[in-house]
Amino acid sequence: MSHAQMASEFSKLADNEKIQFLCRLGTGLTVIYRVLYADKSSVPNASQKMRALNEICHKVFGQLGHSVMNAGDGYSNEAFAESLSSLAAENEIVAEFSSAWESAMASVGKKNDSLSASS
């Protein structure tokens, strides 16, 4: 999924849905981190991937904080999505990240039709 698609999905969420989505995404990312940590001896570049997940979590929880506090100084939807998808791509965790994103979207009752159509 492109960052433009991610930004579009994220932009369509109501404020309360964004908060729920970000909580679910952050939780999903910690599960991925746990799996990587447990399998670190057999996963190529596990340390690099864990650092990337940590940075993605930092951005997710930062955006969540801005949403909860109604602070207008968070990332734009486009910049937020681009930063997350870029980190995932650069660190070879796109599949894992996309799975967490889709699961979080599903938790707020949203479904990515572009992924469903390609399946």
Q: What is the pLDDT of residues 56-92, one digit of tens each?
A: 999 999 999 998 988 777 788 889 999 999 999 999 9
Q: What is the pLDDT of residues 35-53, one digit of tens each?
A: 999 999 999 999 999 999 9
Instruction: Give the C-alpha separation, 13 to 5, whole Å.
Output: 13
Q: Is the pLDDT of residue 119 over 50?
A: no
Q: Cα–Cα–Cα angle for 11, 15, 21, nearest 5°?
A: 75
The residue with greater pLDDT, 112 or 22, is 22
The token duo for 35 is: 């799996």
**Stated pTM of the model:** 0.87
Of 58, 67, 54, 72, which Cα lies nearest the Cα of 21? 67
The residue with greater pLDDT, 117 or 40, is 40
